Amino acid sequence: MPQMSMIEAIRDAMDVKMGQDDDVVVYGEDVGYFGGVFRCTHGLQKKYGKHRVFDSPINESGIVGTAIGMGAYGLRPCIEIQFADYIYPAYDQIVSEAARLRYRSNKDFTAPITIRTPCGGGIFGGQTHSQSPESLFTHVSGVKTVIPSNPYDAKGLLIASIEDNDPVIFFEPKRLYNGPFDGHHDRPASNWSKHPLGDVPEGHYTVPIGKASVFSEGKDVTILTYGTMVFVAEAAKKETGIDAEIIDLRTLMPLDVDTIVESVKKTGRCMVLHEATLTSGFGAELSAQVQERCFYHLEAPVVRVCGFDTPYPHAQEWDYFPGPARVGRELKAMMEAV
């Protein structure tokens, strides 16, 4: 089985779908000849031509708006917003048009578009290249929100997203593009060639949207997380010796509530972990779901470990980033709670 980085797996997913379906088109800022700022589309224009893989103006609202029109016409655009921090100018098109099109047309039209965008920090990108705005989209009815944590899931989920008949926001944690990251920035970087989740099958396969993964089984506490924080949680589990069950949500909307409930009822404790800011982050929704559905099984309050309520700092990145030390402290405190 081939070994792939997340970049290669994402590129392979687009390659597979473009080879299968002439209606799939790929475009965005610098994605054509240049192959994307992270090279996720490298070689696709040469293979499929400039009419199917092309560069757009620097206009996020225009990128998404034209994709909605293409989707209503019958195409399947897979577009790129260069950084998640730049997606805000397109928010009105996503919320008011793409998300509502099926409903407002009584299913006469749909918006089968996939919006890829790199998210998160850990690369010294500062406040304008490190944001995690996923909760802004989980609040919108009609949009699906996906965040893979590894190459295998990235390829399968991206193929499933392109095949979906409704709009999907596909967040790509850029710190994971080339390898898993456990939050220890002062240690040598690892790559996907040394990790089993870097084994990516050739050809077509899908990972179902709306289904979480039990990343690591445990009995003491449940950690609900996604993206880069999956590997931070794994590091904290190893360093504290606490037998945590790590749930990689993979999809935030639709949310796999059944897997969450099953795990929390088993462990009796729950931590919610994400890189985005604390207040009104998706962790608040997860905490509410656990409280409503698992109240009588909880042995301690639900704990959130998140980014702070501040713009993503450049000089103090590793103070902001929820690393294994902070996660580990909270895990120990949870286990001591009666």
Residues with catalytic roles: 129
CA distances 54 to 71, 172, 188, 193, Å, are 17, 21, 36, 30
102, 134 contact by CB (below 8 A) = no
**Residue 247: strand, helix, or coil:** strand
Sign of CA dihedral 307, 309, 312, 315: negative
Beta-bridge partner residues of 79: 27, 115
User: Residue 197 is which amino acid?
Assistant: L
**E-state strands within 149-263:** 168-173, 213-216, 221-225, 244-248, 251-253
Residues 6+ apart with CB under 8 A from 258: none
Cα distances (angstroms) measured from residue 124 to each of 45, 88, 176: 30, 21, 14
Q: Strand 168-173 vs strand 114-119: parallel, antiparallel, or unpaired? A: parallel
Six-digit token string for 177: 């593009």
